[in-house]
């Protein structure tokens, strides 16, 4: 049975969206049903005539000026033949799902997006939601979280050592920003949690770059007197980082960066939190370490799942460590300036000169402990990925001497 | 054998996308098809009579021109298909809310229209005003034309938008546009709610059609029309083309919707010079 519905638009204005009310009335109509629209706006008839034409709906004007619109005779093409994006992450994300949210219907005939990382196994870990929530809750404001007004170390040599370490950290953090940023644009957005996590990780690194730069004071205006010697960015350091930035494979890059590199950095930042001579350096190191722990946890969780699903990935990871080691074999590794700076920082005692032999010995031992701790940490994480104790020890030993 | 050749006017860069898409669709379905784009409808009508194209995607004014030339030459023009959205359009004469209350009140006022050759934004609304007693025609000193892309017969929306802007700025006292653009300009924000009022609406008229002349080969034409009518808005591949061309279904051609435009052309002499020139060429 056909229905005739009446929509009274008396007092409603067509130039304030009254046509929406008619469209809504038309939406649930069956074949033969009609909507009769009455109203007192002079633009009622031309507006509804144009609307009916655009919808493919029959249209007549009755003697009293009322408009009668019929149901569209066309199938709702935008809802037929489309693809329903699953609400849970699928094993393979279809190129045509594009940017659509999970749980939506994608109209047929749309563009295909070329996201290279479209397989769940290549990107997923069940830890994602938890890690993202943690990261979102743990965002800190560099302006207020750091006691910027606290004094620097009054020993010029130790202060110069801190500046050198900060400059080194900035270039490492820049690599740590570029790698997730690049893969963020390659992951199919169907895996939105991966996108979100990589994006927030990138934002973490942006803050790290900011606070280390600010602590180093490299861009601060100079006072009178001779400029201090600028800290050094070495061939060895940049070559090591370039091999990370250039790694095209997501699994290999996240293995080298997060599991091995950021894992080692975690130890370094905790070392600075413990030994740095001033409150600002200790705070920036502590806050960055909190973030890095999440970055390591994501890399580890995602690779743990992936190596469990595909054991052939393990030899590829090992091969990547070997290849990077060989590529960097001719470089100097950690630059002497950074190593010396760490010794100086760890050995410094208030009221004792920087180059005091007792202090140097203390610092030296602390750096040796740091290197041993980094090695032990890498071995633990490698074993979590299923490497044997012997394999883990061998691979950890091949990790870049530049730490990251 | 030469393909079936369609002529269309390039009023927008998307015209290339549209007809490239149609060409793929026709050829995938066994119709050897090609198309030629013209800068303006006059060149298209001329080429049609010269046999350069088999079917012309004509504006309503181009249809009137072709139909008159054909009659004078003893030939026959036929409208074979049109979009559902080409049928039963109206144009509106807009005034500012506090502006003239009746058509007679427009006497001595400035009336903004579209391009000189736009049926919907110039010829038909001016005919409506003239037939209801206003002394007006496209060259009248009180008529302010917005001659955007003359030769495209008003296919370009720009002339109508300029007419409405002139009305909002107070440069004219009325503006003539097609009904669909009233909603479009309101939605895009060109027209503020409450700023304008519809003073008059034209009777319904028809817009574009596919025109053929006598002597067009029947078989490819039949295939062309069958393939048009076979397009479905429910299917993604053809829907893309239909959305670009702005229709939900193709309809058989009809010429009942051009009588007002024919009267306008007679009253204003719009097509006379062009038709005479084409007839003289034979
Ligand atoms: Fe970092
Ligand atoms: Fe990091």
**pLDDT tens readout for residues B129-164:** 999 999 999 999 999 998 878 889 988 777 899 999
Among A46-55, A392-401, B84-93, the minimum mean pLDDT is found in: A392-401
| pLDDT tier at A80, thresholds 50, 70, 90 | confident
Residues B172 and B110 sit within 8 Å (Cβ to Cβ):
yes
- Count how many domains chain A has: 3
B199 or A337, which is more confident: B199
| pLDDT tier at A32, thresholds 50, 70, 90 | confident
Domain boundaries, position A8: 4-70
Q: Please compute, for residue A343, the number of CA atoms within 13 A of its CA located in the half-sphere on the CB side.
A: 16
Among A65-74, A85-94, A340-349, B86-95, the minimum mean pLDDT is found in: A65-74
Which residue, B156, B201, B147, B207, is CA-closest to B174? B201
Q: What's the pLDDT at A223?
A: 76
Q: What percent of chain B has pLDDT over 90?
A: 86
Domain match, A36 and A93 both: no
Q: Are strands B111-113 and B174-178 parallel, antiparallel or unpaired?
A: parallel
Domain membership of residue A248 (yes or no) is: yes
Here the tokens at position A213 are 């730069």
Among A125-139, A179-193, A318-332, the minimum mean pLDDT is found in: A318-332
**pLDDT tens readout for residues A120-148:** 999 999 999 999 999 999 999 999 999 99
Q: Which CATH number fits domain B91-201: 3.40.50.740, 3.40.190.10, 3.30.70.2860, 3.40.720.10?
A: 3.40.190.10
Residues B167 and B140 sit within 8 Å (Cβ to Cβ):
no
Mean pLDDT for all residues in chain A: 92
Residues 47..106 of A with a Cβ closer than 8 Å to B: which? 47, 49-51, 53-56, 59, 72-77, 80-81
Domain membership of residue A76 (yes or no) is: no
Neighbours of ion ligand 2 (CB under 5 A): A 176, 262, 292, 295
Q: What is the mean pLDDT of residues A239-254?
A: 93
Q: Which residues of B touch A76 (CB under 8 A)?
A: 234
Domain match, A126 and A107 both: no
pTM over 0.90: no
CB contact under 8 A, A50 and B183: yes
Domain membership of residue A404 (yes or no) is: no
Domain match, A126 and A257 both: yes
Q: Could you tell me how many residues make up chain A?
A: 404
Q: What is the mean pLDDT of residues A142-160?
A: 93
DSSP letter string, A10-60: TT--GGGTTHHHHHHHHHT--TT-EEEEE---TTHHHHHHHHHHHHT--EE
Domain match, A166 and A89 both: no
Here the tokens at position B243 are 């959305």
- Does B4-86+206-281 match B91-201 in CATH topology? yes
Residue B144 zone, left/alpha/beta (φ > 0; ψ -120 to 50; rest): beta
Q: What is the mean pLDDT of residues B228-235?
A: 92
Is the pLDDT assigned to residue A399 strictly greater than 90?
A: no
Give B38's strand partners.
B9
Q: Best residue in A53, A55, A81, A107 to probe B by mutation, most B CBs within 10 Å?
A: A53
Could you tell me how many helices (H) and strands (E) chain B has, helices first? 10, 11
Q: What is the ipTM of this complex?
A: 0.88
Among A233-247, A283-297, B78-92, B102-116, the minimum mean pLDDT is found in: A233-247
Q: What's the pLDDT at B61?
A: 97
Domain boundaries, chain B: 4-86+206-281, 91-201
Burial class (CB within 10 angstroms; exposed 0-12, middle 13-18, buried 19+) of B37: middle
Mean pLDDT for all residues in chain B: 95
Residues B149 and B11 sit within 8 Å (Cβ to Cβ):
yes
Is the pLDDT assigned to residue A34 strictly greater than 90?
A: yes
Here the tokens at position A5 are 């519905």
Q: What's the pLDDT at A403?
A: 82
3-state secondary structure of B67: helix
Q: What's the pLDDT at A27?
A: 86
Which residue, B129, B120, B245, B126, is CA-closest to B182? B120
CB contact under 8 A, A15 and B179: no
- Residues 6 or more apart whose CB falls under 8 angstroms from that of B59 comprise B9, B41, B119, B152, B153, B154, B155, B207, B208
Which class does domain B4-86+206-281 fall in? alpha beta
User: How far apart, in whole angstroms, are the C-alpha atoms of residue A258 and residue A382?
Assistant: 12
Which residue, A11, A38, A42, is CA-closest to A22? A38
Is the pLDDT assigned to residue A292 strictly greater than 80?
A: yes
| pLDDT tier at A326, thresholds 50, 70, 90 | confident
Residues B110 and B170 sit within 8 Å (Cβ to Cβ):
no
Domain match, A10 and A145 both: no
CB contact under 8 A, B239 and A77: yes
Q: What is the mean pLDDT of residues A86-105?
A: 97
CB atoms within 10 A of CB A381: 23
Is the pLDDT assigned to residue A333 strictly greater than 80?
A: no
| pLDDT tier at A222, thresholds 50, 70, 90 | confident
Q: Are strands B143-145 and B55-58 parallel, antiparallel or unpaired?
A: unpaired
Q: What's the pLDDT at B122?
A: 96
Neighbours of ion ligand 1 (CB under 5 A): A 173, 176, 205, 208
Q: Best residue in A11, A19, A46, A61 to probe B by mutation, most B CBs within 10 Å?
A: A46
Domain membership of residue A75 (yes or no) is: no
Residues A83 and A96 sit within 8 Å (Cβ to Cβ):
yes
Is the pLDDT assigned to residue A337 strictly greater than 90?
A: no
Which residue, A145, A284, A144, A141, is CA-closest to A215? A284
Domain match, A38 and A136 both: no
Is the pLDDT assigned to residue A1 strictly greater than 70?
A: no
The CATH number of residue A353's host domain is: 1.10.620.20
**pLDDT tens readout for residues B7-49:** 999 998 999 999 999 999 999 999 999 999 999 999 999 999 9
Of B186, B233, B235, the CB nearest to A15: B186
């Amino acid at each position: 049975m056909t229905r005739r519905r009446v929509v009274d638009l008396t007092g409603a204005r067509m130039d304030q969206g009254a046509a929406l009310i008619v469209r809504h009335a038309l939406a649930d109509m069956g074949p033969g049903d009609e909507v009769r629209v009455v109203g007192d706006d002079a633009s009622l008839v031309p507006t509804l005539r144009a609307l009916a034409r655009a919808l493919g709906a029959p249209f007549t004007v009755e003697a009293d000026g009322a408009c009668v619109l019929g149901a569209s005779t066309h199938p709702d093409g935008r809802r037929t033949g489309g693809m329903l994006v699953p609400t849970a992450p699928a094993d393979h994300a279809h190129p045509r799902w594009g940017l659509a949210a999970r749980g939506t219907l994608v109209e047929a005939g749309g563009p295909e997006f070329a996201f290279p990382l479209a397989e769940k196994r290549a990107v997923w870990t069940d830890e994602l939601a938890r890690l993202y929530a943690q990261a979102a809750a743990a965002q800190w404001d560099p302006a207020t979280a750091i006691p910027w007004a606290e004094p620097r170390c009054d020993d010029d040599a130790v202060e110069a050592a801190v500046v050198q370490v900060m400059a080194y950290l900035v270039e490492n953090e820049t690599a740590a920003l570029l790698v997730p940023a690049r893969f963020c644009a390659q992951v199919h957005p169907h895996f939105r949690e991966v996108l979100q996590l990589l994006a927030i990780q990138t934002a973490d690194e942006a803050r790290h770059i900011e606070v280390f730069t600010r602590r180093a004071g490299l861009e601060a205006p100079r006072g009178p007197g001779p400029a201090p010697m600028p800290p050094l960015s070495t061939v060895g350091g940049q070559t090591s980082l370039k091999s990370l930035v250039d790694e095209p494979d997501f699994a290999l890059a996240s293995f080298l960066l997060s599991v091995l590199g950021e894992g080692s950095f975690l130890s370094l930042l905790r070392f600075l939190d413990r030994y740095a001579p001033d409150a600002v350096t200790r705070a920036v190191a502590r806050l960055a370490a909190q973030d890095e722990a999440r970055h390591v946890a994501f890399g580890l969780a995602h690779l743990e799942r992936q190596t469990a699903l595909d054991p052939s990935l393990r030899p590829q990871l090992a091969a990547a460590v070997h290849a990077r080691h060989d590529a960097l074999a001719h470089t100097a590794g950690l630059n002497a300036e950074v190593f010396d700076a760490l010794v100086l920082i760890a050995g410094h005692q208030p009221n004792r000169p920087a180059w005091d032999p007792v202090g140097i010995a203390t610092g030296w031992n602390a750096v040796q402990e740091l290197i041993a701790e980094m090695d032990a940490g890498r071995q633990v994480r490698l074993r979590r990925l299923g490497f044997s104790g012997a394999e883990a020890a061998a691979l950890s030993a091949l990790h870049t001497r530049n730490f990251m | 054998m030469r393909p079936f050749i369609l002529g269309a006017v390039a009023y927008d860069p998307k015209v290339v996308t549209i007809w490239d898409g149609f060409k793929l669709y026709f050829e995938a379905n066994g119709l050897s098809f090609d198309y030629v784009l013209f800068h303006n409808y006059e060149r298209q009508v001329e080429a049609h009579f010269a046999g350069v194209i088999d079917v012309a995607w004509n504006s309503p004014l181009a249809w009137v021109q072709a139909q008159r030339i054909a009659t004078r030459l003893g030939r026959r023009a036929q409208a074979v298909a049109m979009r559902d959205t080409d049928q039963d359009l109206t144009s509106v004469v807009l005034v500012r809310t506090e502006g003239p209350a009746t058509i007679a009140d427009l006497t001595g006022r400035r009336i903004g229209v579209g391009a000189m050759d736009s049926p919907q934004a110039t010829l038909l609304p001016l005919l409506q005003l003239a037939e209801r007693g206003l002394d007006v025609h496209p060259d009248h000193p009180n008529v302010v034309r917005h001659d955007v892309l003359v030769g495209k017969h008003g296919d370009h929306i720009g002339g109508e938008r300029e007419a409405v802007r002139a009305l909002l700025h107070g440069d004219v006292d009325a503006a003539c546009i097609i009904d669909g653009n009233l909603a479009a300009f309101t939605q895009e924000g060109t027209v503020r709610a409450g700023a304008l009022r519809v003073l008059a609406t034209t009777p319904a008229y028809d817009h574009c059609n596919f025109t053929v002349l006598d002597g067009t080969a029947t078989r490819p034409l039949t295939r062309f029309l069958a393939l048009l009518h076979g397009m479905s808005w429910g299917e993604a591949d053809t829907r893309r083309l239909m959305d670009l061309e702005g229709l939900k279904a193709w309809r058989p051609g009809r010429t009942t919707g051009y009588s007002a435009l024919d009267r306008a052309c007679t009253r204003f002499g719009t097509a006379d010079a062009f038709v005479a020139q084409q007839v003289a060429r034979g």
